Structure formats: structure tokens, C-alpha cells
Amino acid sequence: MPTLRLFSLFALLLGLWLPVAAASDLLGTAPRSSTLLGGPAVAGGVGPPLPEAQAFRVDLAAESAERLLLRFQIAPGYYVYRDKIRISVLRPAGLAVAVEHWPEARTHSDPFFGEQAVYFDEATLPLRLNPAAGGALLRLQIDFMACQDGGICYPPLQRQLEVQTPAAAAGRGFDGLLLALGLALLGGLILNLMPCVLPILSLKVLSLSGSPDPAASRRTALGYTAGVVLGFAALGALAFFLRELGLALGWGFQLQQPAVVAGLALLMLAIGLALSGLFTLGGSATGLGDALSRRSGTTGDFFTGLLAVLVAAPCTAPFMGAALAYAFAAPPAAGFGVFIALGLGLALPFLLIGFVPALARCLPRPGAWMATFKQALAFPMYLTAAWLAWVLAQQRGADAIGWLLGGAVVLAFGLWAGERLRFHAGVWRWLAGAVVLAGLAVLGPIHHLDRPASRPAEIIATPAAADGSEPWSMARLAELRAEGRPVFVNMTADWCITCKANERTVLASERFHTALRTTGAAYLKGDWTGVDPAITAYLQSHGAIGVPFYAVYPADGGPARRLPELLSPGLVEQALHDAAPNGVPR
């Protein structure tokens, strides 16, 4: 099997496996360091105890009308007793709440109670409401006991938290499913225009240029379509599997895993090197189309479809948002239908060209120009690899970039050696393959590198960041609303290009900050770069499947106004003035 196909298969399996591995961390099965307060864990109770509000942060979010997520964020060197957590519903009356399953706790030798199951760092508890309460304002009371490791134990602690559950989704019947399928098909079609997908599609389309065999063209189109549809179905299966484990997910969740980001960066680099001519993608440049269709065969077409899914999955095209919101909230059977419709939309242009000879005849004829065109397509792939490397730096810091660059060098050498030795059977070809796998082996250390603590202590010491924002939490949002202040919420991620564009062009402008000051509005920012169940549940409670997400909460306590994904200064300014108390000048 050609090196590129092996690499694309490995990258797909990597993308499917790593989020499952990360699920154990999210559910609390492995201790990890917290960056909420920063600094190393307090050993033996060294240092004065923190105020309980700083040592133990508790957030509550609604994932659906019947499911909540309760998250404990615990400062290093402190712990919470698992078996002494009590949760009750204060209002509305008639509701009961139960923990669906308890995350695995650590056994800790406690000087007061002996061997106890405790939570260090953080724990996320999925809660089930009985009966379901769509569109209700819930108030829960959380009672728990906690200690400083080797130090004091706090008196019994209590939190009272409010959360708004999403209303029962309209259109969940047959008509709603048909609408979601139509939007998914249209969104998948638009995905073909994304800069990562366009080179792949262009090469496959050119493979049909001038093909004299209609039957071969149909086989090529069907093989590619099968790979695309199966790839999206696998992505949907992974999402629903993790949802059943109790994880809250949204579109783009795979980019929250550093090793997936690194793997995609290496994949984009490998594709770019192939397009630049470092190793053969199939045949000579002038016969590129015929080589891809004949030499690779149906298997090659299938893996090219999987490759298209890999590079398209991080993108969100217009019309996809509503369809995916339906899919993530719907039963698995209906949700699978939406993912399959996305795949059909992505494969539709190539499928039409393969089955409609008149369309194939409209394509440009093969010729020497294809060599230049193929090499030009390499540069969007290099730019994508550079962008993914920046995302990885935001997630894991400079050490991860060092591992990634080392892996890139080894990978490039392996591909170069494989090209030079591809006509030599035996040990030399296996040696080149081993070098490529060695390059990929760097993904393991990248995944386990600790994230550098970015402004850990400042989250508490100085709530306002340089851009005037405060860290988002449901508790802080509730406090600001109780004060009667309008609130602007920005949910963002470092890997979200649209988020960064909005922040640079609109949210960093003086016009935006003047509107904040004039209206007395608070600015809360949530970072979804890494896994954060509270943010995911909050997004889903508003019918959003990912970032960017913007909402403006009015001062009078009314419902939030959701803003579109593409912002303009005038739109945001008007929304803030509309949310301000009466009497604020416009």
C-alpha cells in the first residue's frame, strides 16, 4: 500500500482513538494538574489554606432538559470527599436529581476518616433530572466536605447554583429530521470549498479528466464516496459513544486533543510534500489523473475519501450548525443520518462528475499544466500545517512544538527515503516505513505534555484580562445578572479561525470597548481550546454545536440574545445598547 494511504489510515485511526483515551482524563480516571490557581501541588499542607471560594470552584451547566453537568475544580493540594457530596433541587418543586455515574476517585489516607475516596484537581458529575424540565430555571444546592492535603479540613461547605435548561427542541419529528438532513447535505457540499479540502477534491476531479472508460469513472466515484460517508459515520459513532460515556461534545471536539492536532499537522505536511514532488502521489505529472484512477484503484479512492473527511472535519460550513445541533441532541439513529448526509454532500460533486459523462467532458484536458497546478496546491496544505502548529503551541507550549518539528523532519526523511527505495523490495522499503512510524511516534509525548499555566493566579487576583474580559463561568454569569448588569459572552477557541477573526476585527476595537463602558456591560470569555464539559453543556443549552458563540444578556434579567457567528461592530454595539438598563444613551 502506498505510503500516503498508510499515513492517512494511521491518522484516521489516531483521530478516532485519542479522544477516547482523553475521555478517561475528563471523567476523572487519572489525576492531572489543574491550572485554575497555578503552581505545584501543596505538599504536606505547606502554606496557609486558601479561602474556600478559591480552593473549591463549582460550576453547573445544563446539557439538555433532563441532564446536567456538575463540575468541581479543585486547587492543587486540596481534595473533596466523594461520598460526602449531596445534591438537592431547591426549585422548582417536584424535581429529583441523581448522579448518573461517579467518576473514579483516588483512595486517600485521611487522618480524620481513614481510607476515603476523594477527588483531586477536578471531577465532572453527570446528573439526571426526574422528570425532565425543559425551559426551567433550576436552583440546586450542593453540600460537600473538603480538606487541604496535610492541612486543615473546612467546615461543611455549600453552594447554591442556578442553571437554565434548554427548552424541548421543536421539530424533532419527521419534518425536523428532513430539514436537518437537507441542511447537512448543503453544508457538506459547501465544505468542498474549504482550503484544506479543495486540493484533495481538485486532484480527484482531475483524475476523471479525459477518462475514456465510464465504468471506471463510476467505480472511482463510488469508492471515493464510500470513504467519505464511512469517515463521517465513524466520526458520528465516536461522538455518540463519548456522549454515552457522559461527555458533552460539540463540533470540533477532536481538535481539543493535542495529539490529533499534531497528527493533522503532520498529515498536511505529508500531503504538501507529495504535491511538491518529494514523493510520488501516483504517476507522472502529465498523467496524474489516469494514474490516480487506475493505479490506486478502488482502495486508493476509498482512502482518499477518508483523507477528505480528516481534513474537512475541523471546518464548519454554513448550514452545518443547525444540522449538527440536531444530530448531537437527537437519538443516535437520526444523528447518524445527519452525519451520513454530511458525507454525501461532501462527495456529491465528485459523484456527479463520475456518473454524468457530460460533466466530465467539461473538465480541462490533461496536460503539462497539471504539474504546476499540483505544486501550487501544496501551499494551502503548508499554511494549514503552520496554523495547526500554532494551535498546538497554544495547547501545550514550546516543548510540544519541539516534538512536532522533530517528527516532521523524521517524517520528511522517511517519505524521501521511501520514494528513493520504492523500486527496491525487501528490508529497505520496510526501513523507510519504520522511519515514518518513528516520526508519528512523537504524538504520544505531545498528548501527555502538561499544558503551560497561562495566567493561573491572575484568574483570581486580577479578573480583568488585557482585552477587558473575565473568565467565563456559570457562577460568575449568575452573579453579574443578579447585579442587574448586561453581559456579553464570547465562547472561543484557539483553533477557531472565525473566532480569531471576530476578536481582531470587532472585539478588539475601541468601538466595542466604548459600548461596554457606556452600557456598563461585563465581558465574559470562555476558552474551549481544550476539553471543558461546562462550556460544552452551556453551548448545547443554547442550541450551539461549537464555537464561535456569542450571546448578550439584558440587564432586566430577560433571555439571552444570540448573535450570528460573523460579527460586525454595528451589530454588537446595537445588541449591547438594547441590553442596557433604561436611560443609557445610544
Q: Could you identify the residue written with the cell 459513544?
A: 241
For residue 551, pLDDT over 50 is answered with yes
For residue 253, pLDDT over 90 is answered with no
What is the model's pLDDT at position 85? 95
pLDDT, tens digit (0-9, with 9 covering 90-100), for 134-144: 777 888 999 99
Q: Which of 136, 164, 192 is the endpoint of a domain?
A: 164
Same domain, 495 and 429: no
What is the model's pLDDT at position 173? 57
Closest alpha carbon to 250 in 9, 447, 58, 529:
529
For residue 157, pLDDT over 90 is answered with yes
For residue 507, pLDDT over 80 is answered with yes
What is the model's pLDDT at position 285? 33
Which helix (DSSP H) or strand (DSSP E) does residue 262 occupy?
helix 258-276
Same domain, 436 and 472: no
For residue 459, pLDDT over 60 is answered with no
Q: CA-CA distance, 584 to 369, in Å (whole number)?
A: 63
For residue 44, pLDDT over 90 is answered with no
Q: Which residue has the higher pLDDT, 45 or 58?
A: 58
Same domain, 142 and 13: no
For residue 55, pLDDT over 90 is answered with yes
Domain-located, residue 205: yes
Domain-located, residue 184: yes
For residue 256, pLDDT over 70 is answered with yes
**211 pLDDT tier (thresholds 50, 70, 90):** low
Same domain, 439 and 481: no
Neighbouring residues of 38: CB distance < 8 A, sequence distance ≥ 6: 453, 456, 457
Quick one: residue 246, left, alpha or beta (phi over 0 = left, psi -120 to 50 = alpha)? left
Q: Domains in the chain: how many in total?
A: 3
Lowest mean pLDDT among 87-96, 224-233, 505-514: 87-96
Task: State the helix-helix crossing angle for 427-440 and 258-276, rounded to 10 degrees.
Answer: 140
**312 pLDDT tier (thresholds 50, 70, 90):** confident
Q: CA-CA distance, 438 to 252, in Å (whole number)?
A: 27
Domain-located, residue 273: yes
Q: Which residue has the higher pLDDT, 487 or 373?
A: 487
pLDDT, tens digit (0-9, with 9 covering 90-100), for 484-502: 899 999 999 888 877 888 8
Same domain, 52 and 10: no
Considering the chain, what is the average pLDDT of its residues? 76
**9 pLDDT tier (thresholds 50, 70, 90):** very low
For residue 552, pLDDT over 80 is answered with yes
What is the model's pLDDT at position 183? 85
Domain-located, residue 584: no
DSSP state of 580: S
**Cβ-based neighbour number of residue 543 at 10 Å:** 17
Report yes or no on whether pTM surpasses 0.85.
no
**16 pLDDT tier (thresholds 50, 70, 90):** very low
Same domain, 253 and 198: yes
For residue 462, pLDDT over 70 is answered with no
Domain-located, residue 458: no
pLDDT, tens digit (0-9, with 9 covering 90-100), for 317-335: 666 766 777 777 677 788 8
pLDDT, tens digit (0-9, with 9 covering 90-100), for 402-432: 888 888 888 888 788 777 776 555 556 666 6
**566 pLDDT tier (thresholds 50, 70, 90):** confident
Same domain, 312 and 439: yes
What is the model's pLDDT at position 11? 44
Same domain, 71 and 41: yes
C-alpha cell of residue 148? 487541604
Residues of the chain with pLDDT > 90, as a percent, come to 18
Average pLDDT of the residues in 205-218:
71
Same domain, 252 and 138: no
Q: Which of 129, 164, 199 is the endpoint of a domain?
A: 164
pLDDT, tens digit (0-9, with 9 covering 90-100), for 76-98: 999 999 999 999 998 887 788 98
Domain containing residue 143: CATH number: 2.60.40.1250
Q: CA-CA distance, 198 to 120, in Å (whole number)?
A: 46
What is the model's pLDDT at position 247? 58
Domain-located, residue 455: no
Domain-located, residue 336: yes
What is the model's pLDDT at position 396? 84
Same domain, 19 and 40: no
For residue 363, pLDDT over 50 is answered with yes
Domain-located, residue 561: yes
pLDDT, tens digit (0-9, with 9 covering 90-100), for 179-210: 888 888 888 888 877 766 767 777 667 666 65
Same domain, 467 and 376: no
For residue 156, pLDDT over 90 is answered with yes
For residue 15, pLDDT over 50 is answered with no
Domain containing residue 522: CATH number: 3.40.30.10
DSSP state of 323: H
Same domain, 412 and 356: yes
- Structural domain boundaries, residue 200: 3-24+170-448
Residues of the chain with pLDDT > 70, as a percent, come to 73
Q: Are 117 and 105 in contact (CB under 8 A)?
A: yes
Q: Which of 425, 448, 471 is the endpoint of a domain?
A: 448
Instruction: Fill in the amino acid letter for 407.
Output: G
Q: Which residue has the higher pLDDT, 197 or 399?
A: 399
Q: CA-CA distance, 80 to 148, in Å (whole number)?
A: 9
Average pLDDT of the residues in 112-126:
88
Provide the CA 213 distance to its chain's centre, in angstroms.
42
What is the model's pLDDT at position 419? 75
Cα angle for residues 54, 59, 65 (degrees, 5° grid)? 175
For residue 114, pLDDT over 90 is answered with no
Q: CA-CA distance, 586 to 563, in Å (whole number)?
A: 19
**383 pLDDT tier (thresholds 50, 70, 90):** confident
Q: Are 180 and 111 in contact (CB under 8 A)?
A: no
Beta strands 137-144 and 157-164 are antiparallel
For residue 265, pLDDT over 80 is answered with yes
